[in-house]
Amino acid sequence: MTRRPLVAGNWKMNGLSASIGELERIVAGARMLANVDLMVCPPATLLARFAGAARGSHVAIGAQDCHAQPCGAYTGDIAAEMLKDAGASAVIVGHSERRQLHDESDATVRAKALAARRAGLTAIVCVGETRNERDAGRAHEVVGAQLEGSLPDGGHDFIIAYEPVWAIGTGVTPTPDDVRGMHGFVRARLAARFGQMAEAIRILYGGSVKPSNAKELLTVEQVDGALVGGASLKADEFLAIAGVYR
C-alpha cells in the first residue's frame, strides 16, 4: 500500500491575527504540491479564522489538543466537538510538551484520541523518548509502551508522529539510521496489533525538521511525512520542507 505523505505544522503557542498572511502564502504554495497533504495546526484562537481562509484549498487545519469529554465544567478546556465545529479536521494528542509539562499519561492520551474519533477528527498521536531513555538503551521500550497505552482499539483512523524528545527545539537531529530504526519498530508494533490495517497508518517524523535536513529525513523508509515545529511558522520554510515530495 502506498501511503500519501503528510507534512503538518504545529505552531504551538505562536501566532496572532496578522499571522494569517503566512497561512495565505502556504495555501498559495500548496497548489504546486500535488503529491503531499499539508496541514497547519494553529493556536485555538486562530483555528476558526484559519479554517475559513483555507476552505476549498489543499491545506487542512488541525488543532493542538482537546479534552476527552464532549462538554462540561472544564474551564479553559476545548472539546474535540468544538474543534470540529470551528473547522478542524485533525487534532494533535500526546505531544511531548503535553506529556511533560501537563503530566499527561498514556491513558489520558488514549482518551483524547478516542474523543477525536467520536468527533470525527483524525488524531495525530505523538510518541517519543528522552535523551536519558535513549542513552539507557530504552528507546524502543518507552515508545512501545506509549503506543500500547495511547492508541485506541477498533480502527486505524489515526496518525502516529514519532518525535524524539531530545530533538525537539534543540537543533540536534537523529541520523537517518536512528529514524529508520524507530519507524521500522513502530510499523512492526502497529502490524502486530492491527494486522493489515497497519499498512494504512501514516507515521510522521518530527524533531528539528528544517529545509536543510528535510530530504535526508523524509525519504527514509517508513517515514510518511513530518510534524514540523518552528519551521512551520514561515511559509517559505514550511513549503520547502513539503517540497521534498514535489
The C-alpha cell that represents 151 in the structure block: 492508541
From 95, 97, 183, 237, the catalytic residue: 95
DSSP assignment of 7-76, as one string?
EEEE--S---GGGHHHHHHHHHHHTT-TTSEEEEE--GGGHHHHHHHHTTSSEEEEES--BSSSSSS-TT
Closest to 223 in 3D by CA, of 193, 194, 187, 192: 187
Instruction: Specify which residues 7 forms β-bridges with.
Output: 38, 226
From 22, 104, 129, 163, the catalytic residue: 163
Q: Is 221 a catalytic residue?
A: no
Instruction: Specify which residues 124 forms β-bridges with.
Output: 92, 159
Q: Is 156 a catalytic residue?
A: no
CA–CA distances in Å: residue 156 to residues 69, 139, 151: 21, 24, 9
User: What are the residue ranges of helices labelled H in 88-244?
Assistant: 96-101, 106-119, 131-135, 139-150, 176-194, 214-218, 235-242
Q: Which residues are catalytic?
A: 95, 163
